[in-house]
Amino acid sequence: MIFRSKHHIGKVTRSGSRSSTVPRKTAVSQPAWIKQVLYGLTILAAVGAGVLIVASVIVAQTTKIYSANNIVLAELHLEENREIIPLENISPLIKQAVLATEDTDFYTHHGINIKGMARAALKNVVTLSFSEGASTLTQQLARNLFLTKKKKLSRKLAEIILAIQIERKYTKNEILEMYLNQVYWGHNAYGIESAAQLYFGKHARDLNLPESAMIIGLLKGPELYSPFRNYALAKQRQRTVLNRMAKLKVITQQQANNAFIQDLQLAQRKTFRYRAPYFTSYIVSQLYSQYGEEATLTSGMQVYTTLDYEMQMIAEDVVKNYVAKSRTPFYTSGRAEQNYNFSQASLMAVDPATGYIKALQGGADYKENQYNRCTQAKRQPGSTFKPFVYIAALEKGFSPNSIVQDSPITFSTSQGPYSPTNYTHTYMGNITLRKALENSINIVAVKINNLVGPDTIIRLARAMGITSPLQPFLSLPLGANEVTMVEMVTAYSVIANGGLRNDPTGVIKIEDREGGILFKHQVNPKRVLDENIAATIVDMMKGVVRYGTGQNANLPRPVAGKTGTTSDYKDAWFIGFVPQLVCATWVGNDDNTPMNKVTGGSVPAMMWRDFMKQALKNLPPVDFARSGDIPRRTDDDSSTGNASELPQDTGSAPPPDGIDPSGIDFKSL
């Protein structure tokens, strides 16, 4: 019987003959009834494998991903990056790690582990699921070569039959060799040699203990645990492998501990297959989740996305340029100061009328760091959270010209007194809500939060698109809770779209290889804000850009937005919009080190302005819809000096220990 992979991968061959260095199994005499059973199983396996091999000759076809303006962003195919090597050219540490982690009894079982299968079956009965499989390395090899990964009983039975046949045909060392050369290690690397070169820039025979443990840890989920994508998660898996090896006494616990704390030097990734890689990798991950990796790479789908490639190029340039500028000194009153001290930035732009993502730049350089700060990073939003507070106040009957006193106050709470402060440590006395929002006055926002109730604000934020956990603290308006940029863009799009919510989407439609529709996005807006309330908060937020902390984002067209800066300058945001486009910008450091006094009204606002100035060049200026109920500005401070002279915005987060002393017990003003 010839074992032929659905990927056309079999065992290692040397000059067309079997290696004399790998011992052959000797035949074992068996009772006649066992021979009859095995003969029947062999026939079943042969028929099943034959069907699968015939099915596998359907020609794989490249899946293509397109931008909205028909630029090919990626071509996905099963062009495997693989170099097959003999077992003796693989580090013994790799062999020890994979056996310890994946199949401890590999050299003693005959393809299946009866005890392991019994334990798995018991757990599946208890949990009423099919989550446990107890697959041996041989079963995994059979599945990878001939079967799918769907958890079905029929597949498991076929896997067992094929595993027994593989064990009868090949020696243990040959099976281990085939497994290590066949398995997928992430980023289009198949086989241990390709993985060693990809992650560490060395041959598989030269991998040391910490490197071997990290690579074997990837088997649980190569894309999920990739050290290029999430180094911390990869280290967790490395620790699991090392501890397992120590438990089995393959290594000592001290060796495991030393290997874990050793610094790993990852290889530089040389090339990327994607245009707009932050956006495209985001789409690819969704395709993998929806259709599976194999179908995505072989089925010839045509994926049409929302990305405006020209806008994306502008976004990439703006982010890259401002991160480069952060390393140069800035000037205050003609005097050179330190640099801005931020190493990362991100930008996301969405059409609020459809939810279509037009640009998504998740970091300064995808080649250096693939972590997507638009979709993955949770950061404190600072005062960009305040519009939710003011919307809640408007819904409770407040007006933009309602007066609140900006003065020191102390709240008595179950955790002690809480005394919020303004960034400038100065107070403006009686002030309208409009002016308080324009100047990002912390005390007024906290007082409104206390009056309308934090639970009310949280319910509103949820309806507008914030899904991350929110704690009902008095400091809620100051952006103490962590959220993603996608969530904030969703919520601000509701404001820009007159109270209608469209969740951001990156895919318009997906066709199969014959042109049949597999998926088509339907724009289905949901009203979550009254249109008059939306128009009123837009009018107030226009004042932020025209008169307040966001003046560095001003454009010669109607613009609304809000600045945000967290305590200790760890995050700085500007989120703003015109009727046709919502855009969020953020700067900071992945390790949460503070920046050098960067506020949302400075660098992020200027980034936003530079992007929007170019992105909107072909879109005529359009004003927002107005409501006749919006009161005109009544205070006499409708103009101010230069933006640099304005009180700088900061939405102070809780104290450094992360404990919010405001608790959840509230007292009326």
- Residue 638 appears among annotated catalytic residues: no
Strands, E, within 239-333: which ranges? 302-305, 329-332
Amino acid residing at 141: L
- Report the candidate in 371, 414, 330 with the shortest Cα–Cα distance to residue 602: 330
In order of 181, 227, 344, 590, 642, the CA distances from 377 in angstroms are 35, 16, 12, 9, 33
- Report the candidate in 349, 322, 361, 387 with the shortest Cα–Cα distance to residue 583: 349
User: Distance between CA 214 and CA 219 in Å, rounded?
Assistant: 10
- Report the candidate in 431, 422, 456, 436 with the shortest Cα–Cα distance to residue 386: 436
- Report the candidate in 641, 577, 648 with the shortest Cα–Cα distance to residue 615: 577
- Report the candidate in 555, 608, 616 with the shortest Cα–Cα distance to residue 585: 608
In order of 126, 183, 229, 573, 669, the CA distances from 80 in angstroms are 40, 11, 20, 41, 67
- Report the candidate in 404, 316, 326 with the shortest Cα–Cα distance to residue 363: 316
Burial class of residue 138 (count of CB atoms within 10 Å of its CB; 0-12, 13-18, 19+): buried
Please, which residues have CB within 8 angstroms of residue 540's CB and are 6 or more apart in sequence?
A: 390, 400, 433, 434, 437, 438
User: Distance between CA 40 and CA 629 in Å, rounded?
Assistant: 83
Catalytic residue, chosen from 383, 440, 475, 662, is 383
Residue pair 596/339 in contact (Cβ under 8 Å)? The answer is yes
Catalytic residue, chosen from 67, 102, 212, 652, is 102
Write out the two tokens for 237: 């898996």
In order of 2, 28, 192, 216, the CA distances from 21 in angstroms are 21, 22, 20, 26
User: Distance between CA 433 and CA 399 in Å, rounded?
Assistant: 7
Residue pair 84/12 in contact (Cβ under 8 Å)? The answer is yes
- Residue 177 appears among annotated catalytic residues: no
CB atoms within 10 A of CB 178: 25
Active site residues: 102, 383
